[in-house]
């Protein structure tokens, strides 16, 4: 098995070259080439040919290629279908904001969480992505765009906390000043609510932003649309969130997808407010995006505004998430591990 060099930290890369019988400083040189966008070992002109040959015997770079690229006509969003070394596909999205470029990365090929409104889980789970495959998405987009990526959101295909170790490693790699150099506060991770992992993360006291996909204010409704709720109910989830806030001092974002006739009554807004009142948090309302298999539809614009106003009346800060790239199926919950019908 060849090693994907993007799975390695700088120190590990130094050890890797030492094991090939070379001095450690070569590791640093290779690392710099990798993050400057070298595509092959032959691009690394200050590395002796003999080492380049050894490297290509034992390792490879990146492990993914752009298979398709879709450009939104409504905004500057781009969606990439990337093919991994083993033939599997994932999707990655680039969003442009006035403050910089954000990449939405996938953490798994497929997903096994089974949320009823989400396209990423329709074909089930295939495998976890390696840390190198997670950051490889950022590098791929950065290169294609020719602009630095300043923010990362782990909100693509997969449940990040179902691939916890690799996701944590990928955050360290993103964070590395010699590598991508993306600050923790510019990294966001969204989870459907694996409460045990939220607690583990809390103890690490990272400065990343945590988002919780809540989507319903009580167990009965949440279990109907999110099977994970049968494993970690709302009480357990809320107490893990309290613990996270206490340990990190960071504000949590609760994501609430508004689905017409499912979770969008004003009584549900009241329940949601009383559930999270007093927490250091804010609510991100997401009008549900179309996923053919789900049959769900968006709440009306008026209802979304009423729902938001109702939360605000209770003193809860709420925003409505801007839809991006919905014409290319690049919006929340629309990513899949196969070619999408446009």
Whichever of 94 and 113 has its CB closer to ligand SAH, that residue is 113
Distance CA 128, CA 163 (A): 6
Q: Is 332 in the site for ligand SAH (CB under 6 A)?
A: yes
Q: Is 182 in the site for ligand SAH (CB under 6 A)?
A: no
For every residue of 84-97, DSSP letters joined together read ETTS-EEEEEEEEE
Residue 155 to residue 127: CA distance in whole angstroms: 17
* Cβ–Cβ under 8 Å, residues 109 and 166: no
Integer CA distances (angstroms), 90 to 170, 263, 307, 318, in order: 16, 30, 34, 31
| Residue 289 found at the interface with ligand SAH (CB under 6 A) | yes
Catalytically active residues, by annotation? 91, 332
How many binding residues for ligand SAH (CB under 6 A)? 18
Query: Does residue 155 belong to the site contacting ligand SAH (CB under 6 A)?
Result: yes
Beta bridge partners of 3: 59
The yes or no reply on residue 217 touching ligand SAH (CB under 6 A) is no
- Shortest CB 17 distance to ligand SAH, Å: 36
Q: Which is nearer to ligand SAH, 7 or 159 (CB)?
A: 159
Write down the least CB distance from residue 237 to ligand SAH, Å: 12
- Residue listed under structure tokens 């009480």: 235
Could you say whether residue 168 binds ligand SAH (CB under 6 A)?
A: no
Q: Please tell me the distance from the alpha carbon of residue 240 to that of residue 281, in angstroms, as a whole number.
A: 13
Structure tokens at 238: 């809320």
CA 238 to chain CA mean position, Å: 21
Angular region, 176: left φ>0, alpha ψ -120 to 50, beta rest: beta
Residue 9 CB, nearest approach to ligand SAH (Å): 25
Options 102, 137, 191, 229; binder of ligand SAH; rule CB under 6 A: 191
Taking CB under 6 A as the binding criterion, the range among 72-80, 188-196, 268-276, 302-310 that sits at the site for ligand SAH is 188-196
Select 192 or 328, whichever has its Cβ closest to ligand SAH: 192
Interface residues with ligand SAH (CB under 6 A) are 113, 115, 117-118, 155, 159, 190-192, 213, 255, 257, 286, 288-289, 291, 332-333
């Amino acid at each position: 098995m060849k090693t994907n060099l993007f799975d390695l930290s700088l120190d590990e890369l130094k050890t890797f070259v030492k094991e090939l019988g070379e001095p450690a400083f070569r590791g640093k040189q290779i690392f710099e080439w990798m993050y400057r966008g070298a595509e092959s070992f032959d691009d690394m002109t200050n590395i002796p040919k003999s080492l380049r040959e050894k490297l290509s015997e034992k390792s490879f770079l990146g492990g993914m290629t752009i298979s398709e690229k879709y450009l939104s006509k409504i905004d500057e969003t781009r969606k990439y279908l990337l093919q991994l070394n083993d033939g599997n596909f994932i999707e990655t999205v680039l969003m442009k904001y006035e403050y910089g470029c954000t990449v939405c990365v996938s953490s798994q090929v497929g997903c096994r969480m089974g949320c009823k409104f989400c396209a990423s889980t329709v074909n089930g789970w295939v495998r976890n992505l390696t840390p190198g495959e997670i950051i490889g998405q950022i590098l791929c987009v950065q290169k294609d765009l020719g602009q630095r990526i300043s923010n990362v959101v782990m909100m693509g295909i997969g449940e990040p906390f179902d691939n916890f170790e690799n996701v944590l490693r990928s955050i360290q790699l993103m964070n590395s000043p010699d590598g991508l150099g993306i600050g923790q506060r510019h990294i966001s991770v969204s989870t459907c609510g694996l409460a045990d992992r939220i607690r583990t993360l809390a103890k690490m006291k990272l400065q990343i932003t945590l988002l919780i996909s809540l989507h319903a204010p009580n167990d009965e409704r949440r279990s109907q649309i999110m099977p994970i709720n049968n494993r970690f109910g709302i009480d357990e989830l809320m107490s893990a969130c309290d613990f996270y806030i206490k340990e990190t001092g960071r504000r949590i974002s609760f994501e609430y997808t508004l689905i017409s006739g499912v979770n969008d009554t004003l009584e549900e807004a009241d329940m949601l407010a009383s559930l999270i009142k007093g927490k250091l948090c804010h609510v991100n309302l997401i009008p549900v995006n179309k996923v053919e298999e789900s049959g769900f539809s968006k709440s009306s614009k008026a209802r979304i505004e009423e729902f938001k106003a109702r939360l605000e009346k209770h003193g809860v800060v709420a925003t409505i998430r801007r839809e991006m790239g919905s014409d290319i199926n690049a919006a929340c919950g629309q990513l899949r591990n196969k070619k999408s019908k446009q």
